[in-house]
Amino acid sequence: MAVSTPESVVEPGPLAKYDTGEAMCPYRLVLEHLTSRWGVLVLIELLERPYRFSELRRAIGRVSEKMLTQTLQTLERDGLVHRDAKPVIPPRVDYSLTDLGREAAQQVRALAVWTERRMDAVQQARDAYDAAKRQR
């Protein structure tokens, strides 16, 4: 899997007050789309290249046709994924990231990479936590 540095880095800035006061404010819903089980994987795959539906389903694995369709529709509606239906027979539909989607995918990927890299530390912490619990 080729890796690139994010092209556009969003400067950290203050989050509006409602980010903590109201869990269901609009941006929370988008965050849930980005970090949903299949959303994460779709975004990371599409960072590499455009995919046809069946290819994408194979690449992700274990996702039902229905769930992948729903995930792609949600991301398309949010302006993150572009759906390109070619008027050919048999029908061909390609999915790719929009510019906005590429930015989102880079952020999501950074979080996923961090998590994977730190799994050993997490596992050590869990072992210590569970051992301490058993001693009580």
**What residue ranges bind a second copy (CB under 8 A)?**
1-6, 10, 12-16, 19-23, 26-28, 30-32, 34-35, 37-38, 40-41, 44-45, 59-63, 76-80, 98, 100, 103-104, 107-119, 121-126, 128-130
Supply the minimum distance, in Å, between the C-beta of residue 114 and a second copy: 5
Supply the minimum distance, in Å, between the C-beta of residue 19 and a second copy: 7
Among 1, 38, 2, 7, which Cα is nearest to 104's? 7
Supply the minimum distance, in Å, between the C-beta of residue 87 and a second copy: 15
User: How many CA atoms lie less than 13 Å away from 73 in the CB half-sphere?
Assistant: 6
The whole-angstrom separation of Cα 88 and Cα 94 is 12
Supply the minimum distance, in Å, between the C-beta of residue 94 and a second copy: 17
Q: Which is nearer to a second copy, 69 or 115 (CB)?
A: 115
- And the tokens for 77? 């509606």
| Number of Cβ atoms within 10 Å of the Cβ of 52 | 14
